[in-house]
Structure 1
Amino acid sequence: MSEGAKTVKITKRVVDATKPNGTDFYVFDSELIGFGLRVRATGGVSYIVRYRAGSGRNAPVKRVTIAKVGKVTPEQARDAAKDILASVVKGDDPARDKTDERRALTFAALAELFLKHIELKRKPTTAIQYRQLLEAHAIPVLGTRKAARIASSDMAALHHKLFAKPATANRLSAIVSSMYSWAIKGKTLSKIDNPAEGIHRYKDKKRERFLKTDEIGSLASALQEAETIGIPWEPAADKKVKHAAKPENRLVKIDAPVAAAIRLLLLTGARLREILHLKWEHVDFERGLLLLPDSKTGRKTIVLNAPALAVLSNLTRLGVYVVAGESAGTKDEKPRADLKRPWAMLVKRAGLQGLRIHDLRHSFASFGAGGGMGLPIIGKLLGHTQSSTTQRYAHLDADPLRRASNAIGNTIAAAMGEALGDAEPPAAENVVKLRG
């Protein structure tokens, strides 16, 4: 028994009578060896369990705090002590387990380690997206929790919380699942069940818009107006402007690089960053190619058609990047970040509300599919690495279906003694009913 300790059966009366005396001391139970009270000089009194972690006199003595006096009764503390001592007999070390638990990674700490890994292994845009989603939705909810204790029910609740944003919910679940797979495989976490696996995904409603010929005409007209005379604007009705410009001076123009970027997006089916980050050194005018050293799918070659080549040929070189930005020609030249403001203005002027800039890529593919060029060719032009990605345009590939339908129809018509071929459907007054 250590100095400053006495033995007595711990009851409520004993607990109430035990008062601080200016020094730390213990009161141990006379019936359950190891169970006791710890009284601090500062006045705090707690129920504790003391035991040897191992066998023999050389085994270290350890202590586990059960609870502060007042939070549980002496009987409840005694029952908890019995459970702890029983686990010690089985070979467990509750004090070590408690220390390990305190040191265990929180969800936020694990997320930070994972994001550092992503920054080294994946593209910068991917790392930014991962961080934004985790910091906006997962870390505020689960950040302080121990990563190893996050359950599938926790992830399901988080997924349900984002039901109004199905794409975000699905993407976040995929990122968390990837994070736990990485942590378990790398032994950052002990082998546990991945809490994000098995989450039922929301049905992803893909927002795909395909421009029609007349809509492309409207967009082209707005684009030409914006780069020549400018698009008129009106001050917001809810804002008071003392010195507003005269109506004839309320015109917004876009510069040649921005206009070229939008034309190239529509004419090549390229992704936005592929055009904004395009350097002149990547343009092969002689062979009519864009030789991209890096893209979403790695190295990529984009075949330039004659109109796209004309756009590039007529564009003045202002710096390293084809779509010159504000820092063009300077030592620290950077590509344009986006085309949000000019695109919003053009879409509004063309009357194409809701049209996204990525829909230009879909439109490029839709014209190819509608022209009967075949999905493999379209996939090559778009730089798809998997044929399944191009399948979204299968319903637009109508020509093969039309030819097949005509072939079947002609065969049936021939069997009926008629020859319709590709003729127009007969007028109603010329239809002759067949006898049954």
Structure 2
Amino acid sequence: MSRPLKSAAVDLSEPQDLTAGLIERLQCPPGKAQAFLRDRKAPALRVRVTANGAKAYVFEAKLGRQTIRRTIGDIRSWTIEGARTEANRQRVLIDQGNDPREVEREQTAERVARAKKAVAESVSVEAVWNEYLAARRDRWGDLHYRDHVAKAKAGGIKAIRGTRGRKETIAGPLYPLMQLKLKDLTPTELSAWAERETANRPTATRLSWRLLRGFLSWCSEQPQYAKVLPAQNPAKAKVVREVLGKAKVKQDSLQREQLAAWFNAVRQLSNNLAAAYLQVLLLTGARPGEILSLRWKDVNQKWQGLTIRDKVEGERVIPLTPYVAYLIDALPRVNEWVFASPSLEDKMKKKAMSTPHKQHEKACKVAGIEGMTLHGLRRSFKSLTEWLEIPAGVVAQLMGHKPSATAEKHYTVRPLDLLRVHHEKIEAWILEQGNVYFVPLAAPNRLRAVK
């Protein structure tokens, strides 16, 4: 039998034994968009040819009353036997009542899920942590955001202050965890981390743990990370909480009889800026960071008020009492900050002063007072007001505490002048107990100390 010419037409009405030559001769009949050549050996296999000459293997079969037609692949990529095998495989699925399209979709979904899980399991804690910070930044205050950054930062940067004599910054408590994979944050791993960190800095570690707990809760809500973490938040595991322990309630507070010694030691500090800061801290009851962040624009000399940046309400206005006004008025205006940094480098950068922990420790040592912290001065303000029977709501408003009663929250509105009556009474009594005397001059913002 002679070999058909390349130009010879292929009979499409009957199944054919597919050969390379037969497929090469296959052409789409004039006037049609596509045509199909059936295979005799694999009844579900077709070779499709389009009007522009493109050819591909196609699977075709019936599932119920529906005709299913699926492309297997280009004839240049598949052999005839390979196409037959694939067509027969799909035919078996049809015979079993399965739709090959659905089976393939499920398999594709499984492959994608496995790939995503593999990526999630290989991702580092640091990468997800940075994603978490970016996602939540707009919902946090500046201090809360800085805590997240500081507790996870690496150390090793050259510095002078706060390095425990190492001359370089110390890595945050969370930094060792940043190098792990997210899937490795197990209760066992976190327990070991807590054991190491609490040995040297228990308070910072407990704060870091709270930040980490929130981070892992966020991860559990993200589809790409939820599957690589346990159902229960690893940071909440009992084995971790037991290692961290509970923070002890601090009771450091100046007693009335200690005020004279404390004021005497603080006012003799060689650092006048630190001395003024510490006295303002005690006499306002503000948080240490609130006074450090005080700007000159927050000091209203006309209405004798101080605008405090408040972590609870955003800001609050308290009276600028006579002695506090005297202390602030004596400070040099270096930059926008009331308590500006005295160092030349920081002056160039227009920075506020650093928290004067060491100066306060030095003054307390001279005064014979042990264990007094800067936050203890805020606690002292609240405790000392008990001697004067100042309304609790007034003290809470001055200190920036949330109202504790419905009437206080919704019905009590105290103007600045009413707060001033109580606040000046508090200041005068504290100064009297501290043996600090001064005489206000005619101008309310010009005071003269009397020793």
- The TM-score, its normalising length taken from structure 1, stands at 0.54
- Partner of 1:301, secondary structure, is strand
Q: Encode CA deviations 1:3-38: one digit per residue, 9 max, x unaligned.
A: xxxxxxxxxxxxxxxxxxxxxxxxxxxxxxxxxxxx
Q: Which residue does the alignment assign to 2:371?
A: 354
User: Does the 8 Å contact 2:291/2:308 carry over to 1?
Assistant: no
Q: Output the CA distance in 2 between the equivalents of 1:332 and 1:153.
A: 44
In the alignment of these two chains, the number of paired residues is: 281
- How far the C-alpha of 1:91 sits from its partner, in A, is 5.1
Q: Output the CA distance in 2 between the equivalents of 1:345 and 1:286.
A: 36
AA aligned opposite 1:132: A
Q: Which residue does the alignment assign to 1:189?
A: 225
Structure-to-structure mapping, 1:259-298, within 5 angstroms: 259-293=275-309, 295=311, 297-298=313-314
User: Does the 8 Å contact 2:305/2:317 carry over to 1?
Assistant: yes
- Partner of 2:207, secondary structure, is helix
Q: Output the CA distance in 2 between the equivalents of 1:276 and 1:139.
A: 27
- How far the C-alpha of 1:290 sits from its partner, in A, is 0.5
Indicate how the Cα distance of structure 1 residues 322 and 150 shifts in structure 2: closer, same or farther if over 3 A, else same: closer
Indicate how the Cα distance of structure 1 residues 254 and 141 shifts in structure 2: closer, same or farther if over 3 A, else same: closer
Q: Output the CA distance in 2 between the equivalents of 1:98 and 1:173.
A: 31
Identify which of 380, 387, 404 aligns with 1:363: 380
User: Does the 8 Å contact 1:293/1:300 carry over to 2?
Assistant: yes
- Partner of 2:374, secondary structure, is coil
Identify which of 217, 222, 227 aligns with 2:265: 222
Matched, 1:115 2:133: yes
Matched, 1:343 2:356: no
Structure-to-structure mapping, 1:6-155, within 5 angstroms: 99-104=115-120, 105-117=123-135, 119-135=137-153, 136-141=172-177, 143-145=179-181, 147-148=182-183, 150-155=185-190
- How far the C-alpha of 1:360 sits from its partner, in A, is 0.9
User: Does the 8 Å contact 2:292/2:353 carry over to 1?
Assistant: yes
User: Does the 8 Å contact 1:107/1:139 carry over to 2?
Assistant: no
Q: Which has the higher contact order (CA 8 A, sep 6+)?
A: 2
Q: Encode CA deviations 1:193-231: one digit per residue, 9 max, x unaligned.
A: 3333455472220223110123221121112323xxxxx
Q: Max radius of gyration: which structure?
A: 2
- How far the C-alpha of 1:114 sits from its partner, in A, is 1.9
AA aligned opposite 1:312: I
- How far the C-alpha of 1:166 sits from its partner, in A, is 4.7
User: Does the 8 Å contact 2:293/2:309 carry over to 1?
Assistant: no
Structure-to-structure mapping, 1:392-407, within 5 angstroms: none
Structure-to-structure mapping, 1:363-382, within 5 angstroms: 363-382=380-399
- Partner of 1:137, secondary structure, is coil
Indicate how the Cα distance of structure 1 residues 148 and 370 shifts in structure 2: closer, same or farther if over 3 A, else same: farther
- How far the C-alpha of 1:118 sits from its partner, in A, is 5.0
- Partner of 2:268, secondary structure, is helix
Indicate how the Cα distance of structure 1 residues 386 and 102 shifts in structure 2: closer, same or farther if over 3 A, else same: farther
- How far the C-alpha of 1:292 sits from its partner, in A, is 2.9
Q: Output the CA distance in 1 between the equivalents of 2:348 and 2:177.
A: 43
- How far the C-alpha of 1:267 sits from its partner, in A, is 0.7
Matched, 1:258 2:274: yes
Matched, 1:306 2:322: yes
Q: Which residue does the alignment assign to 1:203?
A: 246
Indicate how the Cα distance of structure 1 residues 312 and 370 shifts in structure 2: closer, same or farther if over 3 A, else same: same
Q: Output the CA distance in 1 between the equivalents of 2:354 and 2:208.
A: 24
Q: Output the CA distance in 1 between the equivalents of 2:248 and 2:133.
A: 28
- How far the C-alpha of 1:361 sits from its partner, in A, is 0.7
AA aligned opposite 1:361: R
Aligned-pair Cα RMSD in Å: 3.9
Indicate how the Cα distance of structure 1 residues 106 and 330 shifts in structure 2: closer, same or farther if over 3 A, else same: closer
Q: Output the CA distance in 2 between the equivalents of 1:370 and 1:122.
A: 38
- How far the C-alpha of 1:261 sits from its partner, in A, is 1.2
- How far the C-alpha of 1:131 sits from its partner, in A, is 2.9
User: Does the 8 Å contact 1:321/1:335 carry over to 2?
Assistant: yes
Q: Output the CA distance in 1 between the equivalents of 2:237 and 2:194.
A: 12
- Partner of 1:286, secondary structure, is coil
Q: Output the CA distance in 2 between the equivalents of 1:297 and 1:198.
A: 33
Q: Percent identity?
A: 21
User: Does the 8 Å contact 1:177/1:196 carry over to 2?
Assistant: yes
User: Does the 8 Å contact 1:327/1:333 carry over to 2?
Assistant: no
Structure 1: unaligned runs, 5 residues or longer: 1-54, 61-87, 227-252, 389-436
Q: Output the CA distance in 1 between the equivalents of 2:353 and 2:224.
A: 39
Structure 2: unaligned runs, 5 residues or longer: 1-69, 78-103, 154-171, 406-451
- How far the C-alpha of 1:189 sits from its partner, in A, is 2.5
Indicate how the Cα distance of structure 1 residues 210 and 185 shifts in structure 2: closer, same or farther if over 3 A, else same: same
- The TM-score, its normalising length taken from structure 2, stands at 0.53
Identify which of 185, 199, 206 aligns with 1:170: 206
User: Does the 8 Å contact 1:320/1:333 carry over to 2?
Assistant: yes
Q: Encode CA deviations 1:217-247: one digit per residue, 9 max, x unaligned.
A: 1121112323xxxxxxxxxxxxxxxxxxxxx
Q: Encode CA deviations 1:278-332: one digit per residue, 9 max, x unaligned.
A: 1121112333321135546511222333322332344454443222323699674
- How far the C-alpha of 1:369 sits from its partner, in A, is 2.9
Q: Output the CA distance in 1 between the equivalents of 2:206 and 2:339.
A: 34
Q: Encode CA deviations 1:321-368: one digit per residue, 9 max, x unaligned.
A: 222323699674221122133223222222223221221111011111
AA aligned opposite 2:325: L
